[in-house]
A = this chain, B = another copy of it.
Amino acid sequence: MWLQRELRLKARPRGFHLITDEVRERLPELAAIETGMLNVFIKHTSASLTINENADPTVRADFESYFSRAVPEDEPYYQHTLEGSDDLPAHLKASILGASVTIPITGGELNLGTWQGIYLCEHRNHGGARTVVITMQGEAGR
């Protein structure tokens, strides 16, 4: 059984944002899968997806602080500067964090740990709405 769907995620400010509930709500068919996998893929090169702590919002704030220091803007050696100071660092962060997450499905649910959630990582100052492709496959329960 395969299911694929594109999701439009509304524009969010630069930073890290939990989208687990939004993904789940758009996937009612999940309940029918006994064993499977979910892949969420972002169709952009200046935003990314990762899995991390779903509770304390200071984790997401610290992610933004850390990554914006680890991948600084306006380095004198950057050549790709025409699209703004935040553009090349956004591409770098996108590759460090990755364009997709893959999550096991077990008994009709995403088999995440208690504290795990899916983050949309918005690396641009004004990134706009973002599109993700959700691909689910698996076998139905008996």
Tell me whether A104 and B45 are in contact in the complex, defined as CB-CB below 8 angstroms, given that A59-B80, A63-B92, A97-B95 are known contacts.
Answer: no
What is the minimal beta-carbon distance from A114 to any residue of chain B, in angstroms?
A: 8
Q: How far is the CA of A98 from the CA of B135 in the complex (A)?
A: 19
Does A116 sit within 8 A of B, measured CB to CB?
Answer: yes
Does A91 sit within 8 A of B, measured CB to CB?
Answer: yes
Could you mark each residue 107-142 of chain A with 1 if its beta carbon is under 8 Å from any beta carbon of chain B, else 0?
Answer: 000011111100100000000000101010111000
Q: How large is the interface on A (under 10, 10 to 19, 20 to 34, 35 or more residues)?
A: 35 or more
Does A7 sit within 8 A of B, measured CB to CB?
Answer: no
Report how many copies the assembly holds: 3
Does A94 sit within 8 A of B, measured CB to CB?
Answer: yes
B36 touches A95 (CB 8 A): no
Residue of B nearest to A137 (CB): B37
Q: How far is the CA of A4 from the CA of B105 in the complex (A)?
A: 9
Could you tell me which A residues sit within 8 Å of B by CB distance? 2-4, 35-37, 39, 41-45, 50-53, 56, 58-59, 61-63, 65-66, 69-71, 75, 77-80, 88, 91-92, 94-104, 106, 111-116, 119, 131, 133, 135, 137-139
| Smallest CB-CB A-B distances: 10 pairs | A43-B113, A58-B79, A58-B80, A50-B95, A104-B133, A51-B99, A2-B35, A45-B53, A104-B135, A4-B35
